[in-house]
Structure 1
Amino acid sequence: MAQMSAQLVPSLTGAKQPMENLQANPVPRWVVDDIRKMRAYPEQPPVIPHSIEGYQLSVNTNRCLACHKREFTQGSGAPMISVTHYMTREGQMLADVSPRRYFCTACHVPQADTPALIGNSFVDMSELGVGHAGDQ
């Protein structure tokens, strides 16, 4: 099975030989248009529509919260982080962001203008002819 998987699964590394030296691709340009992207599936973490280069994200500071924390959104115009980020695993509400939700880039990522590594045949349910409940 392991020998067959090399034929069935496309390589993501790009190199034919594991230790082959290749010319590095140019660093991709970040998509920084500040336009909120549609999510591909329910509960997908939204992508970051702006540059986060130079943002400090450590145990001591989180630059994202300066705009997206509940009490700062009116002044910044940024969308508020989800109320789920203020909950413990047991559903208990907290006064501040939950430590397990503190490192934003664990789930949220900026977008780069790059081609896909492998093909994608994803089709949204709305394009499959599935109507909304009550449309009949």
Structure 2
Amino acid sequence: MKQLISLWILFCIAIAPFAQAEGLRSLRGSTVVNGDVPSENFRWEKDRGPLPRHFVQQPPIIPHTTKGYLITKEFNKCLDCHSWDRTADTGATKISITHFKTRGGTELTNISPRRYFCQQCHVPQTDAKPLVGNTFQPAAGMVK
């Protein structure tokens, strides 16, 4: 066992000079983004109806601004409109039944903790300029 550890240490020392990625940079450069900071790369879009999806199981895109929305473990601003008991009053899309299931498939009476922080999967629309080019095309069955 000691010999294996010694070999591992020698290996790590030997590859250390090569492990540093020279010239590797973040797309943002060295600037750190703190929270919901407006950028010259996009502007918040005005509210609109639901947007089309481009692939199966794509989480819906949020068709309104979320600037200033508070989501903590005690409070979720999204639930003010999207909870099942509020959608009749607000006209907002109802949270999917899948958000009330645990990873093991057990149904809960409230939203699952793993689905509580909405913007882990759902993102607001913007007119953001792409950081890199792409040739993405929607799935054939998703095109109207």
The letter of the residue matching 1:119 is G
- TM-score normalised by L of structure 2: 0.69
Q: Where do 5+ consecutive residues of structure 2 fail to align?
A: 1-17, 32-38
Question: Can you list the C-alpha shifts for 1:53-102, whole angstroms capped at 9, x where unaligned?
Answer: 12110011001001101111111100001100000111111111011111
For residue 70 of structure 2, what is the aligned residue in structure 1? 56
- Contact 1:12/1:117 (CA < 8 Å) preserved in 2? no
**Identity in percent:** 40
- TM-score normalised by L of structure 1: 0.72
Q: 1:116 to 1:27 in 2, by over 3 A?
A: closer
Which is higher, the Rg of structure 1 or of structure 2?
Answer: 2
The letter of the residue matching 1:47 is I
Name the SS for the 1:74 alignment partner: helix
CA RMSD, Structure 1 to Structure 2 (Å): 2.8
For residue 81 of structure 2, what is the aligned residue in structure 1? 67
Name the SS for the 1:47 alignment partner: coil
Q: Where do 5+ consecutive residues of structure 1 fail to align?
A: 20-24, 128-136
For residue 112 of structure 1, what is the aligned residue in structure 2? 126
Tell me which stretches of 4 or more aligned residues in structure 1 moved more than 4 Å.
none
What is the distance in 1 between the residues matched to 2:71 and 2:55?
Answer: 27
